[in-house]
Chain A
């Protein structure tokens, strides 16, 4: 059994699938990073992914163009983020409850919306044709390199966008005035507001960006990964993204590595569950258990660091 497992893992095809599986988690994790930097917990990522995944398929079907679908999903995601912001910031609903509400809409509301728009139940089977799916690209030169080419070339456009976004988000956060404001608002809203930063405006921007990123993740899920929308397709990826953000210390690059870890765990699950004598249910546990362990390791190391700093500066009390 182990030999069989090693055979499947040490193949370019396996690493290719790790990247493919990581991408949607990565989108949502970037959304979690931006929101968290502005001091907002976006637990609604899961629901936003579900809803924008549905609208991605619907828009691309109506326009018969995948690009329209992706942009539509992005806008729906941003709108949902804004809606969460409106309730959390304006009407003072607890942001976690607002997020849970969005998740409810994502779970059952999408089934209802699909029926309302198309009369279909549970999945978009008949709507999807290959011309409205996100196309894959082969990267010239790279694709000719033996193993590397097999792993890195031939992914969908959005997969490359996902990894590019890690760098872009880092740039946004650390090299632009908006990023500085976002971090300032998250770090200390009173200080930010005292130097004339509109805390509300920054939080609105951050949460709608977060929604837009989750929207892209949703589009990836329905328009590439599972080639159509079905109920329950996001399967906790929004929640895993939150964990990836926490494990990656809230930084874009860290979140990318923890997303890759989850991608790896999930890819392993698909491989292992094909083997004889292995419980597919226990293998399905891997990503979630890895998440909890990762959180424990992260939290323990943070605690140690804080203690060390406190020991070095006994005059600081908190």
Chain B
């Protein structure tokens, strides 16, 4: 009973935070647009409902597009869940997605294989690279106490410039107008799950599999337990004999591996050459998703769907109305601030706690009286 009330409270609080964020977005839409109601319609129902001649119908391709957009962010969201659970504010996911995507693309171009395993090998290489990169901030933190936040922020830029260097000087296909690599081999491409141009690939299935794997890891293994315990109370974990340093490194390497996979799967699934010229932003989105999911891997797909939906809505709004798509950043920032706010609606929680305690006391008193008879 008690748990259920708190659960309902958490739900209400999450919904309220999202409502506040959308309200902030609405205010900005009304301030900036000449046709605010139209813009709102595109934002809120546009992604899934297509209007033709006054008839609303479910937009299946739109739905697939949203699912496709979730693929990289599920991976980065999971990565952030694991790292933040151990209280490590490692922000290098962003750079690793780009680096992972790049090596996966190179492996897709220069390694020749016949079997269907080609794509898997490419993604595994990306995963290994991601884990290796993450060792840098993790080891610096554990061995020297250097802030993983600052080193990982710097690593993002290092990843970006190193990738751009190799892209421009070593691997560019000069026959194309813009800077990009040669096309991957067909064997390296990740196949589509549904017909049409939605880019919904088998990568989506892989992402869901990883949701289950990481969920099991975090809640059903001792490593996951150690990661979460260290996040809650590092000193306690240390004194109870856990290997704190090793676990912190492990959490970040897992984060790196997941980010690397995310980059590889996205590049091999969505494009036919590597053509990113700046950081793709999936790492930051992953943080928003982890916050929304409260670091619970099993909630990551839900959070990723929500963000992908909003993103699509903002794009539609920018295409068909006069509201820039960067609106998504303002909404995301507001979600961030309110959703992560422990004291948001705390007065209400206080009331629930008081009510529960009174009920418990009354019950206890009743049982004492009952025993006295």
Contact = CB atoms under 8 A, between A and B. Distances in A.
Interface of A: 41, 43, 87, 90-94, 96-98, 100-102, 104-105, 107-109, 111-112, 115-116, 121, 236, 239-240, 242-243, 246, 279, 281-282, 284-285, 288-289, 291-292, 295-296, 298-300, 302-303
Contacts of B32: 112, 115-116
Nearest to A242: B150
Contacts of A291: 150, 154
Interface stretch (B60-68, B184-192, B320-328, B353-361): B320-328
A281 B329 CA distance: 28
B343 interface: yes
B165 A281 contact: yes
Contact of B165 (A101, A282, A303): A282
A96 B169 CA distance: 37
16 contacts: A91-B342, A101-B334, A105-B329, A108-B329, A111-B324, A111-B326, A112-B28, A115-B32, A239-B150, A242-B149, A243-B154, A246-B150, A282-B165, A285-B157, A295-B150, A295-B151
A47 to B, nearest CB: 9
B147 interface: yes
A110 to B, nearest CB: 8
A100 B80 CA distance: 14
Given A91-B343, A295-B140, A296-B140, A112 B330 contact: yes
Contacts of B31: 116
B140 A299 contact: yes
A236 B32 CA distance: 29
A90 B330 CA distance: 21
Contact of A93 (B149, B161, B342): B342
Interface string B76-91: 0000000000000101
B340 interface: yes
B337 A87 contact: yes
A4 B39 CA distance: 56
Interface of B: 28, 31-32, 89, 91, 136, 140, 144-147, 149-151, 153-155, 157-158, 161-162, 164-165, 168-169, 284, 287, 291, 324, 326-330, 332-334, 336-338, 340-344
A104 B329 contact: yes
Contacts of A109: 326, 329-330, 333
Contact of B340 (A41, A94, A102, A282): A94
A249 to B, nearest CB: 13
Given A97-B340, A292-B136, 15 more contacts: A91-B344, A93-B341, A101-B334, A101-B336, A101-B337, A104-B333, A112-B326, A121-B324, A240-B154, A281-B169, A285-B162, A288-B154, A289-B154, A295-B140, A303-B145
A64 to B, nearest CB: 24
A121 B168 CA distance: 28
Given A109-B329, A246-B150, A299 B144 contact: yes
Contact of A92 (B155, B157, B287, B341): B341
A116 B287 contact: no
A92 B162 CA distance: 38
B158 A116 contact: no
Nearest to A114: B324
B28 A116 contact: yes
B332 A104 contact: yes
Contact of B158 (A97, A240, A285, A300): A285
Nearest to B136: A292
User: Which of B91, B158, B324, B326 has most A Cβ within 10 Å?
Assistant: B326
Nearest to B170: A279
Nearest to B329: A108
A281 B340 contact: no
